[in-house]
Structure 1
Amino acid sequence: MGANLILQSRMEELGLTQDELARQLNKALLQITGRPGEISSRTIRNLLSGRHSRPIGRTCAALEHVFGCPVEELGFSAPRSMQRPPEDPVRRRDFIASTTGTAAAAAVPITKHRRSVGMSDVARATASMNELVAADDRQGGHTGLAAIALQGRSRVLELQQRNASDRVRRALYALAAEYTTIAAWSCIDLRELDRAQKYLHESTTFAGLSQDPSTGMRVWINMAMLAYQRRNWTEQLAAAQAA
């Protein structure tokens, strides 16, 4: 019996504590079975210690749902009820040949595991954002930079659709706010102040969802600076006070 270092590594990658993983697994069981799970942090400790190297089927299904991979890739042995028999390649070829692509898609739904999102994904998105900030420092804002910033925001929001810990979700929302702010300042340089105002309002929403005070402060400072450029002194004062 040895500690499950693979599971420990994946939890660290996703920013999951033992309590958070237990909550995620119970949430997954509710989605899968319609009943809330009863997994506790003690269960997680047993999984990490190696005491439970072959979890029961319900727990395995929840683990696969949260991490987006078979339990074998998490360092566990699947129970017999979940072991996947090898597929007969001849039967598979016969099936594909006997159906059209549309009919096959309609008759046989294909389920894919979606990889969970972790702090390494956040780090990559942050590095891309920092490159945009550096480009803005060198060249100032322009139409292309605003478009790239909005594309970065879209990619970050797409990551929100996958399994993630609360910590990762908050970090992704903070990045969405930062990307949107970059787009706003490109619009300011282009003197498209109405678009800039729209993007900064969107930034305040993402900053609120991030629950990160420093991100919120930066957005409100930007709002105050834009209000100054528009000579809206009342809004400038309110934004500065909010910051």
Structure 2
Amino acid sequence: MDTTQNVRLTAWMQEHGHSSASLAEAVNSAMEKLVGRPGGHDGSSVRAWKSGRIKWPNAATRRGIEAVTGLPCTDLGFAPRGGAKSIPTPKQEDPDMKRRTLIGGLAATAAVAAAAPGMASRRIGMSDITRLQTRFTEIVASDHRHGGQLGIEQRAADLANEALNLQAAGSATQRVRSNLYAAAAAFRSSAMWAAIDGRRYDEAQRHMREAQALAEMSGDQAIKFRIWSHAGTMYRHMGRPSDALAANDVARGLHITRRDPMFASLGLARQAAIHGSAQERSGTKRAFGQAQEAMDRADPHAARPVWLVAFYDQAELDSLALSAYLALGDYQTAEAHAHRCLAGLRPHMARSRAITQTRLAHAQLAQGEAGAAVASAMKVHTTAATQHARVSRMLNEFGAALRATAPGTTTVHIWTEHTAAWRASA
């Protein structure tokens, strides 16, 4: 039996970063979309295609392969029996399906389509990655200034698609392909975070699923950590502490947390915040102690991703502690962390400053200090007070609590006039 190696299929898999198992999963998922039932292929099936033992898969399998690759099976080195022709997969109504591959049950945007007709193929290199990383830095900076805005979410999602489109625009080494997937995952995770911050949780979960799959294809531990850590925060804000802990545990279980204590510190600090929301006082205190210890032993000069360097420091650890102790009702400790956070916040952290000022106001009001609380709340910038969903909600809750605890007072009158001025200038 002639078992000539299928070099074309092997070359396509190497170019697009597929293992035998991942291609089998993608083909199975594509078959389910096309014929209504998933395929039954695994890594051994793909190895049989690559080795030439199976020269011409059955019709349903061929349709799945062509949907994933965007190429006729004959162009992938498969040989029809008796001169049979490969039937191209019909075009999908949804143009996004040209680059959809389901990885492990997650709908992930992946560049598996051929370049657009007429587009000249070119060599994709690390200069393209550098350009994408520069734009990612801009997204991160915009998030820290404004936070939660729909425009940031949409721009990040568009840039993720742009990164994936480069996969189809020309040839590249496997290293470059992995970096493109990592860039796409990073942009998707920023879109996810903007949606979380804007309390658009359905959209956040959609971005999460795509970001997770892209991160798996990239193999980048840092971006995997970011996505799962974001997921823990998302579930915490949604009032689902068990899911929050489970997601955060995935982040904390990655080996990057053992290699770099700064990642370990962030994972522990977010775990502590989840414990606080779940009213687990001892777990909160223990996790914050461990987070502080890990931060103290981290090398301050180590090379780290821009998204981590841009926000995680002592001020952010204190911000998470403020959130946790506020949830626990330990208002004095919460206030102490708020003051420490505000003292250490870097100038570009406008969104974090607004959130911290608002939480400080809540902690002061809960201790009976209405005047100090209103003074703190009035320091929140108008833009954040009126346009940031999370800040607006917390300020509305603050106003309701103020009116309940100090009805008819001058302090309430001052606050009412101030919020009216906010609304007028928005």
User: Who is 1:154 aligned against?
Assistant: 158
CA 1:199–1:78: 2 relative to 1, 3 Å:
farther
Residue 42 of structure 1 and its aligned partner are, at CA, apart by: 1.5
1:177 to 189, 196, 207: 189
User: Who is 2:352 aligned against?
Assistant: 227
2:134 to 127, 131, 134: 131
Letter in 2 for 1:129: L
1:111 to 91, 94, 118: 91
- After superposition, the C-alpha distances for 1:35-61 in whole angstroms (9 at most, x for unaligned) are 332223221111111222222322211
Contact 2:80 / 2:86 at 8 angstroms: preserved in 1? yes
Contact 1:180 / 1:202 at 8 angstroms: preserved in 2? no
Alignment of 1:188-227 (within 5 A): 198=198, 208-209=208-209, 210-211=211-212, 212-214=224-226, 216=230, 218=307, 221=311, 225=349, 226-227=351-352
- After superposition, the C-alpha distances for 1:201-228 in whole angstroms (9 at most, x for unaligned) are 8997578443421354647947854323
User: After alignment, is 201-210 or 41-50 more displaced?
Assistant: 201-210
CA 1:73–1:129: 2 relative to 1, 3 Å:
same
CA 1:128–1:158: 2 relative to 1, 3 Å:
closer
List alignment gaps of at least 5 residues for structure 1: 85-109, 162-166, 185-194, 236-243
Contact 1:149 / 1:179 at 8 angstroms: preserved in 2? yes
Contact 1:69 / 1:115 at 8 angstroms: preserved in 2? no
User: Who is 2:68 aligned against?
Assistant: 66
Residue 63 of structure 1 and its aligned partner are, at CA, apart by: 0.6
- After superposition, the C-alpha distances for 1:60-104 in whole angstroms (9 at most, x for unaligned) are 1111011111112212124545446xxxxxxxxxxxxxxxxxxxx
* SS of corresponding position for 1:114: helix
Letter in 1 for 2:188: A
Letter in 1 for 2:358: N
In 1, Cα distance between equivalents of 2:60 and 2:203: 40
Contact 1:177 / 1:206 at 8 angstroms: preserved in 2? no
Contact 2:192 / 2:205 at 8 angstroms: preserved in 1? no
User: After alignment, is 53-62 or 147-156 more displaced?
Assistant: 147-156
Letter in 2 for 1:114: K
Alignment of 1:85-100 (within 5 A): none
The number of residues matched between the two structures is 188
Letter in 1 for 2:69: F
Residue 147 of structure 1 and its aligned partner are, at CA, apart by: 7.0
* SS of corresponding position for 1:53: coil
Letter in 1 for 2:51: S
Letter in 2 for 1:154: D
* SS of corresponding position for 2:14: helix
In 2, Cα distance between equivalents of 1:233 and 1:46: 60
In 2, Cα distance between equivalents of 1:170 and 1:202: 23
The one of the two structures with greater contact order (alpha-carbon pairs below 8 A, sep at least 6) is: 1
CA 1:132–1:34: 2 relative to 1, 3 Å:
closer
Q: Identity rate of aligned residues, in percent?
A: 19
Letter in 2 for 1:111: K
Residue 27 of structure 1 and its aligned partner are, at CA, apart by: 2.0
Contact 1:57 / 1:82 at 8 angstroms: preserved in 2? no
Q: Tell which structure's C-alpha radius of gyration is larger.
A: 2
2:45 to 35, 43, 47: 43
CA 1:77–1:169: 2 relative to 1, 3 Å:
same
Letter in 2 for 1:232: T
Q: CA RMSD in A?
A: 5.0
List alignment gaps of at least 5 residues for structure 2: 101-109, 113-122, 166-177, 213-223, 231-265, 267-306, 320-348, 362-426
User: Who is 1:98 aligned against?
Assistant: none
User: Who is 1:106 aligned against?
Assistant: none
Residue 32 of structure 1 and its aligned partner are, at CA, apart by: 2.1
User: Who is 2:12 aligned against?
Assistant: 10
